[in-house]
Amino acid sequence: MSIAQKPNYLDSELGIKSWLTTLDHKRIGIMYLLVICVFFIVGGSMAALIRAELLTPKGDLLTSDAYNKAFTIHGVTLVFWVLIPAVPAVLGNFCLPLMIGARDVAFPRLNLLSWYVFTIGGVFGIMAVIFGGIDTGWTFYTPYSTSFSHTSVVLAVTAVFITGFSSIMTGLNFIVTIHKMRAPGMTWFRLPLFVWANYATSLIMVLATPVIAITVFLVGLEKVAHIGIFDPALGGDPILFQHMFWFYSHPAVYIMILPPMGVISEIVACFCRKRIFGYEFVAYSSLAIAIIGFIVWAHHLFTSGLSTYSAMVFSFLTFLVAIPSAVKVFNWTATFYKGEIHFESPMYFAIGFIGLFLIGGLTGLFLASLGTDIHFQDTYFVVAHFHYVMVGSAIMGFLGGLHFWWPKITGKLYAEGLARWAAVIIFLGFNFTFFPQFILGYLGMPRRYHSYSDEFQVLHVCSSLGATVLGFGYILTFCYLLYSVKFGAKAPKNPWGAKGFEWVTDSPPPTDNFDFKPVMREEAYAYKPDYEAPEVVHERA
């Protein structure tokens, strides 16, 4: 069995040092995954605290100050160190060069540097949590953050500032990689849609992230030197902060959701054994979402002093983003039509994604309308809406991708039965957690309070129970995936019978990705009419 003994990227070099100095995009992706897991646990445990506190109407578990810190740490860690990097930095890093048939990204050193910068930013974030926490909410709104909060705002914004650069480096790397590193024959319209999605995401990363960098830099400067730029007492305009903050942070939502959308396109095409319906439209819709995503930001400011005229402009622009999002959903569902559908675990996650994204996306329209937004602003309706998109859909897509490429990444098969159960549990747990929050918000429960009127208790208890189920689903996933690394059966090259360069190389791939020179000779997802898919292989549990 000479094939089995061939060195792959995991065992060609051993030891911690070989990992910390690696330039291999696949290893860097895994290093990102490890750091992200740490922050997922931090942010997730804060969520557990929040849901435990909200079981009862009185603030009996946490003081209001402690509660403020809990939801801020929850938001900051999960947004900046989990959701934003999850798919691009882990799955994107691992798969993107494989999918386009390259040996590595264009700038491997920059890639490693981005991981270090990310981790150093993370260390600052952890320091902010340890040295007093932070209570401003993940949005750092001024003048509260600059003039009144006595928590570690400076450390936290430093952390965000530093981490932003890792995002810029990843985005820059991906753009150049996609432009310049494609294999012969891999034209733009033969690219897998995950690559298109990552290109659109990178566009946002390089264009929007510098703005958040300068914004939090000014917050830090204001905090330290009182230059007055966001302080109304000194003539500054706090709404300018909100403009600049959301100029990044709204597109950042699309950083979180676009790559999972790309993942879903891969999974749906593979398990329907069919080219994605309207490939070009799905590809362009990624770019459209990225670009329109830049011109909608002020819908976060509808109730905070934005001029009426401007609010109308932004309301209209916000509705536009529904079009490319809907194109994606319609085209995924249309792909199922007359497809040869295989219900494997990644497909469970993909279908879950479509369901959650549908609810998350459609409720966004309520918030884009000026009239209803006045009612829903800063209620649990908003909380539920953005959790459906940023957490429900994004994490569902991330887990779907992780399950899809897990055999490729680790070379091992996980317990397929458990994975299907996990997908169902996460889907149900998530809906049980956040659907009641739509109703809570509709009834007028404001966000960010640790105590509430008695009438809201039933729905809050539902939500907390759902969160327990959701948490169980995540822990289950974590356990069987980890178990498979050690005890899983060896994965073949192409366990799902999928098309794409990443499935013709070994599992796990060799350090240089391919033992041959990949050349693209057909369309992407050329499953029909004459592709004989290999038998699907998975481990029964």
| Residues in touch with other proteins (CB under 8 A) | 97, 102-108, 168, 172-173, 175-176, 179-181, 206-211, 213-215, 218, 221, 225-229, 234-237, 239-240, 243-244, 247, 294-295, 297-298, 301, 306-310, 313-314, 512
Q: Within 13 Å of residue 259, how many CA atoms lie on the same side as its CB?
A: 34
Tell me the DSSP string of 300-348.
Answer: GGTTTT--HHHHHHHHHHHHHTHHHHHHHHHHHHHHHTT------HHHH
Contact 137, 448 (CB under 8 A): yes
Taking the complex as a whole, how short is the minimal distance between the CB of residue 171 and other proteins, in angstroms? 8
Angle, helices 193-225 vs 238-272, to 10°: value is 160
Whose tokens are 């070989």? That residue is 18
Compare residues 71 and 297 and give the one whose CB is closer to other proteins.
Answer: 297
Taking the complex as a whole, how short is the minimal distance between the CB of residue 109 and other proteins, in angstroms? 9
Taking the complex as a whole, how short is the minimal distance between the CB of residue 154 and other proteins, in angstroms? 16
Taking the complex as a whole, how short is the minimal distance between the CB of residue 297 and other proteins, in angstroms? 8
Compare residues 164 and 260 and give the one whose CB is closer to other proteins.
Answer: 164
Mapped onto helix, strand or coil, the DSSP state of residue 139 is coil
Helices (H), 139-237: 153-180, 193-225
Compare residues 212 and 422 and give the one whose CB is closer to other proteins.
Answer: 212
Taking the complex as a whole, how short is the minimal distance between the CB of residue 199 and other proteins, in angstroms? 12
Compare residues 313 and 362 and give the one whose CB is closer to other proteins.
Answer: 313
Taking the complex as a whole, how short is the minimal distance between the CB of residue 29 and other proteins, in angstroms? 15
How far is CA 288 from its chain centroid?
18
Residue 540: phi and psi, rounded to 5, are -80, 145
Q: Round to whole Å and give the CA distance between 215 and 333.
A: 40
Compare residues 319 and 442 and give the one whose CB is closer to other proteins.
Answer: 319
Taking the complex as a whole, how short is the minimal distance between the CB of residue 426 and other proteins, in angstroms? 36
Compare residues 174 and 366 and give the one whose CB is closer to other proteins.
Answer: 174
**How far is CA 514 from each of CA 9, 100, 174, 401, 508, rounded to the nearest angstrom?**
11, 11, 19, 21, 11
Compare residues 86 and 218 and give the one whose CB is closer to other proteins.
Answer: 218
Q: Round to whole Å and give the CA distance between 376 and 3.
A: 60
